[in-house]
Amino acid sequence: MYNQSLPGFKTLFNSAPWVVRGSSHYQFHYFKGSLAEREIEHIIKTQEDAFQKILSFLELEAPSEKIAYYFYPSIEIKEELMGSKWFAQAIYNDFAVHTLYTEGHRVIGPHEDTHLLSLPLGLTIGFLQEGLAEYLVGHDWYGNSFLNTIREAIGNEQFTISPDLLTSHQSWVDTNDEYAREYYALAAHFSNYLIEKYGRNNYLKLYSNLSRDKSPEENAAYYTSVFGIAYKKIFSDWYTCLQAKSD
């Protein structure tokens, strides 16, 4: 069992009148007549493709349990039935994803599935957890490159980039929600930086050793043991890349 902070979480969705459609690795739940029902074939293909992409990157076997997806046709219904207005949540111990699926927000793809399928590696700190999920998406929430999104925010005093993000889960929790898209792009860019510079295997080794239950000092030591470089030096080199004038 994994500890997960789920303020306001409700289970009224369990008694909702779902239509259920299965695929090789999923059980999809949606409402009759909804946009998700009309586009279910596209959803199935998108998620099955994402599933294979994630497992290929992680080099893990497919789990025996199917991922349960719950598609909500509005923010209001999502909040009423499961307690959150946010776009999507992966519920670790339910092996489930609750997500909006509306004309304005078709929230599908690799992100939430990465949270679930990477659990065998452990529950890493938020900066790497969200970074890996967004890295496997490949772009920010609106299809922009991660670097462009970050550079638009750099210089704003409310968008702070601290080396503590690399070692402290609380530092990620404390980031400004008004800049969530930019921080998710930042996390993705950092994961991409580590993967390209040090290789996927070293990245995944770091990912599986860092933990939100360990102190920042304990987490910091893993950067040195995995990469042979102190985390503050890694941060400095990466931050230089962010500030460069060209890609």
Task: Identify the structural domains of the chain with CATH numbers, from first to last.
Answer: 12-121 (3.40.30.160), 126-243 (no CATH)
Tokens representing 93 are 């111990």
Taking only the tens place, the pLDDT of each residue in 134-160 is 999 999 999 999 999 999 999 899 999
Taking only the tens place, the pLDDT of each residue in 215-244 is 999 999 999 999 999 999 999 999 999 987
Specify the pTM. 0.95
Give the Cα separation of 129 and 136 in Å (integer): 11
